């Protein structure tokens, strides 16, 4: 499989995860493990919650991390926040695969949809607005 084809499949997979999350077909839970996480470039500390889900026999997790980008000699270092999506081993929590950063907006869209689902915002809004019909 060529690099471009692989990149297209990964991008389509990310969109599918977002769609399934929006539809409620893919359920996410808040992980009790909010410690250090192995990433493809070393150990990272998550910023905030880690969300996990199961797709068939595979486990996936999503979290945010802050990363420092080394600057050239003319500028200061820059800190960026990334949304990380990984396939991991459920028993050992070991990293099996980390999705490459595709577009910042698609990873962020997945993150926001997961937060919305886990926080059960629809139920909250119905309760707040007095619309408990569903």
Q: Give the pLDDT confidence of 66-113 residue by residue, as tens digits.
A: 877 776 666 677 788 889 999 999 998 899 999 988 766 889 999 999
Q: 4-43: per-residue pLDDT in tens? A: 677 788 888 999 999 999 999 999 999 877 667 778 787 7
For residue 27, is it within any domain? yes
For residue 120, is it within any domain? yes
For residue 55, is it within any domain? yes
pLDDT of residue 126: 92
Eight-state DSSP code of residue 99: P
pLDDT of residue 11: 85
| Three-state SS at 64 | strand
For residue 71, is it within any domain? yes
For residue 134, is it within any domain? no
Residue 72, both tokens: 């050239």
Where helices occur in 33-120 by DSSP H, the ranges are 104-118
**Which domain does 103 fall in, by range?**
3-129
Which residues fall within 8 angstroms of residue 38, CB to CB, at 6 or more apart?
A: 44, 94, 95
pLDDT of residue 105: 82
Report the predicted TM-score, pTM, of the whole model to 2 decimal places. 0.82
């Amino acid at each position: 499989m060529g690099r471009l084809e692989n990149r297209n499949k990964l991008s389509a997979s990310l969109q599918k995860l977002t769609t399934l999350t929006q539809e409620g077909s893919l359920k996410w839970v808040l992980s009790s493990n909010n410690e250090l996480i192995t990433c493809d470039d070393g150990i990272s500390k998550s910023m905030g919650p880690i969300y996990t889900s199961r797709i068939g026999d595979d486990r996936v997790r999503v979290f945010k991390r802050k990363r420092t980008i080394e600057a050239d000699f003319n500028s200061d270092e820059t800190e960026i926040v990334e949304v990380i999506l990984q396939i991991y081993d459920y028993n050992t929590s070991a990293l099996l695969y980390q999705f490459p950063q595709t577009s910042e907006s698609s990873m962020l869209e997945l993150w926001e949809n997961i937060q919305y689902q886990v926080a059960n915002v629809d139920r909250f809004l119905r309760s707040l607005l007095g619309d408990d019909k569903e």
